[in-house]
A = this chain, B = another copy of it.
């Protein structure tokens, strides 16, 4: 199972960094991979609090940051809103269509666009490292 492999990756990361595998980390990890994608710190915090009322907001935040550092999660910053996080393990790069009515995120990939982006960068003597493409509009359900 991919989630078990992901847990191994986290455990290895903790070991090689001299970090500890706490009860809270396990809880946050499991919750993150079972909750909705593109979740906020607040969202995950509330999700966890239902079964773990003692959890601290800062702990959730810190461990989402840790998951990003270990390569298991990605930060998504849309506009000026709260930072969102999505599982990354075993998933390819993708971009997002974002519905301005319901807030839904649709994940998309387009190899042609990716290649043209690289050409565009090259034409400007620019070495691309990462990119962000967000298309805002109205989703099928909101038309």
Q: A interface vs B, CB < 8 Å?
A: 77, 79-80, 83, 97, 99-100, 106, 108, 110, 112-113, 116-117, 120-121, 124-140, 143
A131 and B134 contact, Cβ closer than 8 Å, known pairs A80-B83, A113-B120, A121-B97: yes
Of the candidates B106, B126, B129, B134, the one whose C-beta lies within 8 Å of that of A132 is B134
Instruction: List, in ascending order, chain B residues with CB within 8 A of A116's CB.
Output: 110, 112-113, 116
With the chains together, A121 CA to B108 CA distance in Å? 9
A-B CB contact pairs (8 Å), 29 listed: A77-B79, A77-B80, A80-B83, A97-B121, A106-B126, A108-B124, A110-B116, A113-B117, A113-B120, A117-B133, A121-B135, A121-B137, A125-B143, A126-B135, A126-B137, A126-B140, A127-B137, A127-B138, A127-B143, A128-B135, A128-B136, A129-B138, A130-B135, A130-B136, A131-B133, A131-B134, A131-B135, A132-B134, A133-B133
